[in-house]
Amino acid sequence: MNNAPPLYVGIDGGGTKCSAHLFNKHGKVLGKGVSGSANAARNLPETLDSILKSVHMALLDANLNIKQIPTLKVAAGLAGATVSSVKAKLLEWQHPFADFKVESDLATSSYGAHGGKDGALLIIGTGSSAAKLQAGVISQFGGHGFLLGDKGSGAWLGRAAVSITLDALEGITPMTTLNHVILNNLKVSSAADLAQKMIGATSREFATLAPVVVKLAEQDPQAHALVQEATEYLEKLCHSTLKNTDLPIVLMGGLAAFFKTKLSPALQLRVVTPVAGPEKGALYLLDQSLVLN
C-alpha cells in the first residue's frame, strides 16, 4: 500500500451537507460521498462525524477499502472555520488520515471557482457570504453566521417567512398565501404552536422553507418583498466585494441560479462559470498544482 499512488480527498462542508470527493494525483474524481451537516461553529462533533462518514462513502463509491483511510491526504472547507477558536479545535483533531488541512468553505470554494486564480465568489445557500481572492489573499465579506448575518440566504428567507407569519396570525399584518403555505408545511395553525415548533430550529431547518418564498415571489406581496430585500442586500454585498477591481465573480449555492436573474445587468455581466467545485478547491490546501490550471 505504501507504493500505491497518492489519493486525495476534498471536502465541502456546510449547514446542509458534507460532500467529499476522492481524487487521484491527476485531479480525477474516483468517488463521491455525502453525509450530514458540517457547520463547525455550530456543532463540532457533528461536523467531525460528517467528515468521517463522507470520506467512508467516497471510498466505497470508488470501490476501495476503507482500510486506506490512514493513507489519505484530506483537505476540508467548512462553514464556521473562519472563527479562530473553531479552526484551532479542528487542527487539534486527532484525525485518522495521513494529512488533514482545513479552511473556511468560502476560501476553498474560491480556490475552486477560479482554479486558484484571482476572482470573486458569492455563495447563496443555507447561509450567504462573499469572498475575493486577489494576489493570493482571501478577503471575506458577510457570512457572519445565522444569528448575526447570512442575509439573503435560505435560512434568512425561511426565518423571515416564519416571523411575518407570526405577525399575520396575531393580526398585525394581513394573512397572505405565503402565511398559509408556511403553516401548512409546518402543520401548525396558531402563533403559539408556530413559535413552539420553530423556536429552536436550526439554520438548515429554516432553509427548507426558502423554496416556498421563492415559488411565491411573483404572486405574493410578502414573498416578493422578502426576495426584493434579499436581492438588494446581495447586490450590495457583491459591489463591496468587487470594489476597485475588475475581477469576475462566480455564484454558488442552492439559491444562486434564482438570484442571478434578480441582480443588475451590470453585475450579471461579471458572472462567470466556475472552473471547479469547492471539493476540488479544497485540494489547494494540500497541493496547489492539483487545482491551478
The span from the CA of 15 to the CA of 78, in Å, is 9
Any idea what the CATH number is for the domain that residue 106 is in? 3.30.420.40
Q: Are residues 182 and 122 in the same domain?
A: yes
pLDDT of residue 118: 93
C-alpha distances out from residue 6 to 22, 69, 71, 94, 289, Å = 11, 12, 8, 21, 14
pLDDT of residue 292: 66
Q: How confident is the model at residue 84 (pLDDT cuts 50, 70, 90)?
A: confident
pLDDT of residue 246: 93
Q: Are residues 180 and 191 in the same domain?
A: yes
Tell the burial category of 60 from Cβ atoms under 10 Å away from its Cβ (0-12, 13-18, 19+): middle
Question: Is there a domain that residue 3 lies in?
Answer: no
Q: Are residues 212 and 111 in the same domain?
A: no
Mean predicted confidence (pLDDT) in 42-59: 95
- Average per-residue pLDDT in the chain? 92
pLDDT of residue 283: 94
- The total of structural domains in the chain comes to 2
Mean predicted confidence (pLDDT) in 211-227: 97
> To the nearest 10°, the Cα dihedral for 85, 91, 93, 99?
170
Q: Are residues 159 and 133 in the same domain?
A: yes
Q: Are residues 208 and 103 in the same domain?
A: no
Nine-digit cell at 1? 500500500
Per-residue pLDDT of 142-198, as tens digits, reads 877 777 778 999 999 999 999 999 999 999 999 999 999 999 999 999 999 999 999
- Between 290 and 51, the higher pLDDT residue: 51
The strand order across the sheet containing 73-78 reads 29-35, 18-23, 8-13, 73-78, 99-104
Q: How confident is the model at residue 1 (pLDDT cuts 50, 70, 90)?
A: very low
Q: Are residues 76 and 135 in the same domain?
A: no
Mean predicted confidence (pLDDT) in 207-223: 96
Q: How confident is the model at residue 215 (pLDDT cuts 50, 70, 90)?
A: very high
**Which residue segment(s) compose the domain that 83 sits in?**
8-116+275-290
Q: Are residues 199 and 164 in the same domain?
A: yes
Q: Are residues 123 and 111 in the same domain?
A: no
Q: Above pLDDT 90, what percent of the chain?
A: 75
Q: Does an H or E element contain 99, and which?
A: strand 99-104
